[in-house]
Structures are given as structure tokens and as C-alpha cells.
Amino acid sequence: MTLRIAVVSMFTIAAIAVHAGPVASPAWTATPQRQPNKPIRVEVNLVSILASVLDLNGKPVIDLPQSAFQVLEEGRSQQIARFEPETTQPLDIALMVDTSLSAIAELKLEGEAAARFIQQVVRPSDRLAVFEFTDDVTELSPFTNNVPQLQQATRQLKTGAGTSLYDAVVMGSRQLGRQPEDRRRAIILVTDAGESTSHYHFEDARRAAILSGALIYTVLVRFSPSENLRNTAGEHALDTITDSAGGDLFYVDSSSDLDPAFARVDRELRTQYRLRYYPDPKPPAGTLRHVEIRVNGNYSVHYQKSYFAPRATPNDLPASHAAGSARPQ
């Protein structure tokens, strides 16, 4: 299975200001157009994409030149304005662990594997938060780079009766949406794909994930070989959300597969290309846009396929109300 991922972050500002207005995301380049005795108008519409390129063995391919990439939006080729062969932008990660009764047999193994992953992935400039979800979604540790605190949180997982999978995706997306704009974002789900008690629905979760600009990596625990004992509908839903929002999905068939799955997540997060472009033509406000990334060679490319164009903002609004955002509120 080939999934495609990227972070597509879009933030358009049309501001008339005589005093300081909202601060634009560093992912954008603002070009003020000044005229004597006239207000300042700033328009920002640079799309930023993070992409992972893998060979036939699933190993990251690094050091590709910009000429190896092609970006298309709605089928139309786009000019790459900026290219980074390897991004060093810090990470914010929401680790969401399913602790429903359906996963109770392997709960301790999941927690210990997550603790080892935290030790591996969290660097001084990164931040991670730990959540568990059953019939509710509970924060066990806020965003921090304190590795012992985070590891302790994974060892405090408690079981519950239900599984609020879609609520977990929405919660993770919104929590990441509140973090600073100049950082990469990722949701890591450890789950058996069961869904029984969410207040939100599938489309709510998919939309929230796309709007947040977060990659979704799903470690799908399926310790039973029989499809009759697995939630195949939930597996398909997670596959679709991951494919839309960007990320990857790893099937775990035994406890020994947990550490390799987490290691692959870490490897992909550390070997990403950044591509930026100004969409041409400018997308209609509020529309769902479809992106395609092509790479020369026999590779698979992980990137986000869709994003929502920001809503238009009337030019006559005060500066304090002029910002529009593609992130969930």
C-alpha cells in the first residue's frame, strides 16, 4: 500500500492596518505594497509541503535535487518557489493511545513501546503530548520535551469500555492547531481501529486533520489473524483519513512489531523534503484543493493529498479581525 503525505499549511491575510495586526505564520512570505498616505495591504498565499520519498524497500531516499520533483494542484503544474532537501523544523507530536477493553491484552506492551519511542523521537527543540482514549479522550501529559515525564505518562494508561477514535483525531488536531505556526505537526495513533463512542463522526475527524496541517501516523494493532475478530470497517476509515490528511499506516500483527513501527515513524519524520509554491491560479476561498507530488524514479512519495483554501477576508475589516485561517477553531 502506498500512502502519500505532506503538510499543506495555508494562511491568507488581507489587512488594512494603521497599527499592528495579527502575526502571519513563518511558513508564508509577506510582500507589503506601500504607497504614500495609503494603508498597507499584505497578501500571503505560499503553500508549504513536507514530503517523504521511499525506495522499494521502504527506506527513505535523501539528497534528491529539486529538479526531481513536480507539484500539481488540481492537475495543473505549479512552480516550486522554495526547496529544502531536508527540513530541520522542530516537531510537535500528539501521541494518542487506544486503551479500550478491546486492546487490554497488549496495553502494557503498547505503553512500553511508546516510552521507548519517546526516548528516540523527542529532541530538545521538539515537544510531545500524551493522550489516552476510551469512551473519553484524556490528556496524560501536556506538550513538553521532558522525556521522563512523557514516559511516565505512557506507563499510567488505564482501560475503559468504549473507543472514541474520531474524538481522538479531532482532539489531537485541535491541540496541535493551538501550537505555534513555525513547527511541524504530527498525530500518532496507536489503536486497533475500533470505534464505538465518539461524539464526532468520520467526516469531522477527516476535516479536522486536514485543517490542522498535521501528519497522521497510525500504528494499527491487529493481534488477531481473523478478520472476523478485527474492526475492518475502522481499519478502512483510518486508511482513508490518513490518506487524506497525510501520514502513513503501519500494521502491527504481534508485539514484536511495535518497536519497528515506531522506528519507521521516527525515520520518516527525520527525512522530509520541504517544497513551497504559490498556487496558480489562486484557489477559490473555502474550496477543497487536491495536490499531487511526482518524483522521478521508482519511488513512493508520502504527502497530503488535500487542503482547504482559506476563506476570503473583506478588505474593509479592521486589522484585528482581518485574519483567516485554514486551521480548526
Q: What percent of the chain has pLDDT over 70?
A: 76
pLDDT bin (cut points 50, 70, 90) of residue 102 is low
pLDDT at 228: 61
pLDDT at 229: 59
pLDDT bin (cut points 50, 70, 90) of residue 110 is confident
Q: Are 16 and 322 in contact (CB under 8 A)?
A: yes
Candidates 91, 7, 9; CA nearest to 52 is: 7
pLDDT bin (cut points 50, 70, 90) of residue 12 is very low
Of 17-26, 271-280, 310-319, where does mean pLDDT reach its minimum?
17-26
Helix (H) or strand (E) holding 166: helix 165-177
Provide the greatest CA pair distance for the chain: 73
The larger pLDDT score, comparing residue 291 to residue 230, is at 291
Q: Are 95 and 128 in contact (CB under 8 A)?
A: yes
pLDDT digits (tens, 9 = 90+) for 22-57: 333 334 334 444 444 444 333 458 888 889 999 998
Structural domains of the chain, ranges and CATH numbers in brackets: 15-86+274-321 (no CATH), 91-269 (3.40.50.410)
pLDDT bin (cut points 50, 70, 90) of residue 227 is low
Return d(Cα 297, Cα 275) in angstroms, integer. 18
pLDDT digits (tens, 9 = 90+) for 286-309: 899 999 999 999 999 988 888 888
pLDDT digits (tens, 9 = 90+) for 181-202: 889 999 999 988 888 899 999 9
The larger pLDDT score, comparing residue 131 to residue 109, is at 131
pTM, rounded to two decimals: 0.78
Q: Are 220 and 235 in contact (CB under 8 A)?
A: yes
Kindly state the cell numbers that stand for 85: 532537501
pLDDT bin (cut points 50, 70, 90) of residue 130 is very high
Q: Work out the average pLDDT over 73-93.
A: 93
